[in-house]
Amino acid sequence: MRIHILGIGGTFMGGVALLARDLGHDVSGSDAKVYPPMSTQLEAQGIRLMEGYVAAHLDSARPDLVIIGNALSRGNALVEAVLERGIRYTSGAQWIGENILRCAGTHKCRGRQDTASDHGRWVLAVAGTHGKTSTASMLAWILEHAKLKPGFLIGGVPENFGVSARLGKEPFFVIEADEYDTAFFDKRSKFVHYRPRTAILNNLEFDHADIFPDLAAIALQFHHFVRTVPGSGLLVVNAKDENLSNVLAMGRWTPVEHVGAGDGWEAVARNPEASRFQVLFKKQDQGEVSWGLLGSHNMANALAAIAAARHAGVPVKTALAALAKFRNVKRRLEVRGAVRGITVYDDFAHHPTAITATLEALRARVGNARILAVLELRSHTMRMGVHRDTLAGSLACADKVWMLRPADLNWNLERVTNALQGRGQAYPTVEEIIETLSREARPDDHILVMSNGGFGNIHARLLEHLQKR
């Protein structure tokens, strides 16, 4: 079958492309812009990429099915062409649910009675406002280390695997369970299509203000997600998150193991940067993890992954040994290079909670060295001003801050720069950020670039500028 994917440059839709290709389909895709790491991953796998959204792409691809990403809406030229020509279409989440997780069509599961039914795979889904990609990557790696060869679809590229998605061996499949809406024709959250047996609920905060009016609307979708987990399954839940407690109070039918509570899973840091920590389950010592990741947020992610893997039959000791070899995910405090003692990092943080966690983790590692933070206000929620009162506080650990001011920002960014009391400035272009930052940076500085997009390839350009300076 010929499948054409609209929005193929996104991490989720790029993963869908890889899985469709692995099932034997002829896959191509269109996107406004495709940037690394997804572009290089897709091209390496022989998937044809077409830039822009023009109807002529359908003439070239001649698809039997079009999979439409949630970033596209009515009025998009390719979407309109698909509808006018009567080409069969679906969403990425629905296609995954029907063709991978429940083994419909060309892919046939061989599920064992003790692990998965004859109608689908044992799905381990990771949901939450923050930490989905890291936790799903840890979980997939633990199962891999246990020689279970899981399939997975993750919104990033785990360094241990080098790809964001693969079919793997039945029955286990790890999926990052996003609460964002499914498509312009399906406004349910993506994760209701996945029907997991093991589900992780990391945390819940208000986000995606472009589609959710308030926190209650997101909580309702999480409740719908909880409704899909069978009684023989497991919910792994952050015990310290009151919003998740409220979700469970709306109704649950599945056993729960808590992370961060004495009756469940706990972690005790053994050093300031939390790169060594002790794991406890019901107050009983399970062993120690020593790894290259930083921060208390990653300890919590690790506990959730350990608990979920244990439900799938992986001994805790095996999980701890796997995490010692875990190599993180691209764009999670990833070192992009160093020039004359100046280190440049790339991180996906774009919400105040994630920004705080990333900066605190880096501060614990570098001590009193200067941290120069660079932030792109790219997400819909950020541009709408939802975080305008908490953004400055999230940048407390940075010595100086550079922000890219979006052209369509509809609120006064000066309220953030004023709150930073001289430590922060906003600039209209990436070029101005590179120029001023290059003049400011000095040996032993750490430049932390945070964005959920390509940010004009600022990392490579900045490193080149520093080299030439």
pLDDT recorded at residue 106: 36
pLDDT of residue 310: 97
Judge contact between 260 and 279, C-beta under 8 A.
Answer: no
Res 457: pLDDT = 83
Q: Quick one: 402 exposed, middle or buried, by C-beta within 10 A (0-12, 13-18, 19+)?
A: buried
The answer to whether 19 touches 166, Cβ cutoff 8 Å, is yes
pLDDT score for 408: 77
SS3 405: coil
97 known ligand binder: no
Residues 370, 376, 382, 385, Cα dihedral to 10°: 80
Cα angle, residue 35 at apex, residues 30 and 38 outer, rounded to 5°: 80
To the question of whether residue 129 is assigned a binding role by annotation, the answer is yes
Specify the CATH number of the domain 334-468: 3.90.190.20
- CA dist 289 and 150 (Å) reads 22
Superfamily of domain 2-87: NAD(P)-binding Rossmann-like Domain (3.40.50.720)
Going residue by residue through the chain, which has 469 residues, state the pLDDT in tens, using 9 for 90 and above. 999 999 998 888 999 999 999 999 999 999 997 766 677 778 888 899 999 999 999 999 999 999 999 989 999 999 999 999 999 999 999 999 999 998 533 334 433 333 444 457 999 999 998 889 999 999 999 999 999 999 999 988 888 998 889 999 999 999 999 888 899 999 999 999 999 999 999 999 877 767 888 889 999 999 999 999 999 999 999 999 999 999 999 999 999 999 988 789 999 999 888 889 999 999 999 999 999 888 888 999 999 999 999 999 999 999 999 999 998 777 777 888 899 899 998 987 878 888 888 898 889 888 899 999 998 887 777 766 777 788 888 898 899 999 888 887 877 788 888 888 889 888 889 999 999 998 899 999 999 998 877 787 888 899 888 888 7
User: 464: burial class by Cβ within 10 Å (0-12, 13-18, 19+)?
Assistant: middle
Per-domain residue ranges for the chain?
2-87, 108-323, 334-468
Provide the pLDDT for residue 206: 78
Strand partners, 6: 30, 68
Give the DSSP per-residue string, 302-317.
HHHHHHHHHHTT--HH
The verdict on whether residue 240 carries a ligand-binding annotation is no
Instruction: Identify whether 428 is preceded by a cis peptide bond (ω within 30 of 0).
Output: no
CA 259 vs CA 178, 360, 369, 377: distances in Å: 20, 21, 33, 31
Q: Is 465 annotated as a binding residue?
A: no
Residue 133 annotated in ligand binding: yes
Cis peptide before 171 (omega within 30 of 0): yes
**Residue 422 phi, psi (nearest 5):** 90, -10
CATH topology of domain 108-323: UDP-N-acetylmuramoyl-L-alanine:D-glutamate ligase (3.40.1190)
